Amino acid sequence: MGSLHCRSCRYGFMPPYVLERVAVQGSERLRNVARHTLTTDQTFRTQRGPQQVVEPLTAPLPRATPGQPARYIHSAEHRQELPGRLIRKEGEEASNDPAVDEAYRWLGATYRFFWEVFERDAIDGRGMPLIGTVHYGQDYDNAFWNGAQMVFGDGDGELFNRFTASLDVVAHELAHGVTEREAGLVYAYQSGALNESFSDVFGSLVRQHYLNRTAMQADWLIGAELLTDQVNGRAMRSLADPGTAYDDPVLGRDPQPGHMHDYVETQADNGGVHINSGIPNHAFYLVAMALGGYAWRAPGHIWYDTLRDPRLAADCDFATFAWLTEDNADRRFGRQSREVVAIREAWRAVGVTS
């Protein structure tokens, strides 16, 4: 039970229940890949402190100049050693390794989002270097934030592509670092689901910002590029319609609920953090659609204000979070504002408030 109350767990993108399903329903190769990924993930899930990066450079990595990221992309060269060999650092030309260059590009896009929208200078707000490692392990079907850096597997090539192919997956992992620094949300049950939801919300917003899409134009999907054409699905998660992202003979059916009536009580997945995150995800989507325009503006600022609110307890539940978002909307826009009304109606629509 220790990992259920860990504040510094490793945050993997791929829900364990997906890998567990593949370990039973997949081909012999896919079963072996899924089991190996689960074993690797179990190791980093049960470690209790942020993993220290052993950086091969002789001097500490310089912090970013405000408004300019400091990116360092390494290759693990299919081993499970971090950070691996430094391949590309800030300002250098493309490496011609697609995973390296995708990680570099998408970490830059995520940095620009947080800087341009929230004036936040990297993960810690003080120019923390963005350290990424690609080619982690052999056919590793996951990506994670370990408290110090982002790590990306290459996928198995049959069900899942390399994890750097998706901007919102890269942004999702970086956002775990932001949440860890700001709120330290316990990675279990409702607070853990909020932790996952923050990463999905910011992951979607980064994609929308990069593509300059309004709430109406956005697809509201997470991990669309991750699925190969052999999978019957659109993505790993949908904020617009939780539970509909995929329905596949091997992966099974997307189990995310979009309403408290369908809340999943479970000890698995740290108390359902990847499952029940569908409820706050959908609440954010409803707010963004009600307000229209660019979702990173009013809705994004309200969620970011709430993430930084000292009243956001590490073990915050959905109902308390709903109240905090409404109160932060009130502080920013006023009690009678359409933003407050949209938030109140959204939380009511997903069954968190009555």
CATH number, domain of 224, equals 1.10.390.10
Q: Which of 182, 209, 229 is the last residue of a domain?
A: 182
pLDDT at 78: 97
At residue 19 the predicted structure's pLDDT band, cuts being 50, 70 and 90, is very high
Residue 123: per-residue pLDDT: 97
Structure tokens at 55: 């950086």
Rounded to whole angstroms, the Cα distance separating 147 from 316 reads: 21
Q: Are residues 236 and 303 in the same domain?
A: yes
Q: Are residues 149 and 277 in the same domain?
A: no
Active-site entry in 55, 90, 102, 173 = 173
Report yes or no: 159 and 227 within 8 Å, Cβ to Cβ.
yes
Q: Is residue 258 domain-shared with residue 332, that is, in the same domain?
A: yes
pLDDT at site 52: 40
Element (H, E) at 301: helix 298-307
Q: What is the DSSP string of 15-43?
A: -HHHHHHHHHHS-HHHHHHHHHHHHHHHH
Clarify whether residues 255 and 160 are in a common domain: no
177-202 pLDDT tens trace: 999 999 999 999 999 999 999 999 99
What CATH number is attached to the domain comprising 174?
3.10.170.10
Counting the structural domains of the chain, the total is 2
Q: What is the pLDDT of residues 328-349, one digit of tens each?
A: 999 999 999 999 999 999 999 9
Residue 332, token pair as written in the block: 């920013």
- Percentages helix, strand, coil for the chain (3-state, rounded to 5) are 45, 10, 45
Q: How many CA atoms lie within 13 A of 23 on its CB side?
A: 13
In a domain, 343, yes or no: yes
Q: Which residue has the tokens 């400091």?
A: 70
User: Which carries the bigger pLDDT value, residue 81 or residue 57?
Assistant: 81
Mark whether 193 and 172 lie in a shared domain.
Answer: no
User: What are the structure tokens assigned to 70, written together?
Assistant: 């400091």
Catalytic residue among 90, 274, 326, 339: 274
Whole-number pLDDT of residue 39: 94
β partners of residue 143: 152
Residue 173 is a catalytic residue: yes
Q: What is the CA radius of gyration of the chain?
A: 19
H or E segment at 71? Answer: strand 71-75
Closest CA to 203 of 163, 226, 174: 174
End position of a domain, from candidates 118, 151, 182: 182
Tokens representing 237? Answer: 């998660």
Q: How far is CA 80 from the centre of its chain?
A: 21
CA distance 344 to 286: 10
What's the whole-number average pLDDT of the chain? Answer: 93
Specify the residue for token string 């905090």: 324
Q: What is the pLDDT of residue 3?
A: 39
**Cα angle, residue 139 at apex, residues 138 and 144 outer, rounded to 5°:** 90
Residue 264: per-residue pLDDT: 98
3-state secondary structure of 208: helix
Residue pLDDT, tens place only, 107-160: 999 999 999 999 999 999 999 999 999 999 999 999 999 999 999 999 999 999
Q: Is 93 assigned a catalytic role?
A: no
Local confidence band at 44 (pLDDT 50, 70, 90 cut-offs): low
Tell me: do 171 and 108 sit in the same domain.
yes
Residues 315 and 238 placed together within one structural domain of the fold: yes
pLDDT at 274 over 50: yes
Please give the structure tokens belonging to residue 260.
């408290």
The closest alpha carbon to 166, from 103, 88, 83, belongs to 103
Q: Give the confidence band of 55 by pLDDT, cuts at 50, 70, 90.
A: very low
Could you read off the pLDDT of 210-231 as tens digits, one per residue?
999 999 999 999 999 999 999 9
Are 194 and 178 members of one domain? Answer: no
Assess contact for 322 and 352: CB atoms under 8 A: yes
Q: How many Å apart are CA 13 and CA 75, to the nearest integer?
A: 19
The rounded distance, in Å, linking the Cα atoms of 311 and 320 is 10
d(CA 54, CA 241): 41
Q: Domain containing 67: what range?
A: 49-182
